[in-house]
Amino acid sequence: MNMENEYIFFLKGLFIGFSIAAPVGPIGLLCIHRTLYQGRVYGFLTGLGAATADMMYGFIAGFGLTFISNFLMDQKIILQIVGGVFLVYIGLKIFSSKPQVSPSNSKNKGLLSSYLTTFFLTITNPVTILSFMGIFAGLGIGSLENPDYLLSFLLVIGVFLGSATWWLVLTGLAGIFRDRINPTYLNWINRFSGIFILCFGLVVIITLV
8 A C-beta contact, residue 100 and residue 183: yes
The stretch 31-56 carries a mean pLDDT of 90
* Span of 71-75, 177-181, 191-195 with lowest mean pLDDT: 177-181
> What pLDDT digit, counting tens, does each position of 142-189 carry?
555 555 678 788 888 999 999 999 999 999 998 888 777 776 777 788
Entry pTM: 0.82
> What pLDDT digit, counting tens, does each position of 178-191 carry?
777 776 777 788 88
Q: Residue 209 — pLDDT band, cuts 50, 70, 90? A: low
Q: Output the pLDDT for position 103.
A: 45
**DSSP string covering 31-44, please?**
HHHHHHHH-HHHHH
Q: Output the pLDDT for position 106.
A: 46
- Between 101 and 59, where is the model more confident? 59
- Domain residue spans in the chain? 22-142+170-208
> What pLDDT digit, counting tens, does each position of 102-119 carry?
444 445 447 888 899 999
pLDDT higher than 60, residue 208: yes
- Taking the C-alpha atoms of residue 83 and residue 74, their distance in angstroms, rounded to an integer, is 16
Q: Output the pLDDT for position 102.
A: 47
Q: Output the pLDDT for position 165.
A: 95
